[in-house]
Amino acid sequence: MKKHIAPLIVVIVALIADLFTKELALDRLGLFRRVDFLGGFFRLDLTFNEGGVFGIMQGHKMFFLVVSIIVLALMTGYYFYEKNMSLLFRIAMALIIGGAIGNIIDRLIPGRPGVVDFISVGVDGIYRWPTFNIADSVIVVGAFMIIIAVYIEEKRLKALKSAGPDQ
């Protein structure tokens, strides 16, 4: 049970940070108001994403709600099924789960046109990354952490194999 405490805290912190910043964006930014930093490279600009990641398939809010719930259920099931994952892997899974819950909550709020996104990075006229939120950020960080955790585990297993059966 102790091994689940840190990941549970990560889920809660990621979810609270996401929900809090979304409410702050809704309250302080409103539509048609943006705040630029670093000459506009970093921008707070409220938008609603009715599609998937990076705004793909706009207008399919219910489809992405169902897909998100299925993926969340599968990830949560895997988290509890897999007994030998490292702390890094568990924390990565917790980040993804916390972010997924945050975006699912957004899709479930009646009257909300989509997921609240408000962070925009880029240079106008050259390239601006699709607007995102804290949930999206922790999901991406969690995904990279899983890649790192898998790489570390593969390296460890390779070292054990090359050390021979007596080691």
Q: How far is CA 101 from the centre of its chain?
A: 9
DSSP-derived secondary structure letter, 129: P
Relative orientation angle of helices 61-81 and 87-108, to the nearest 10 degrees: 150
Q: Which residues are catalytic?
A: 117, 136
Q: How far is CA 131 from the centre of its chain?
A: 13
26 Cβ contact partners less than 8 Å away, ≥ 6 residues apart: 46, 116
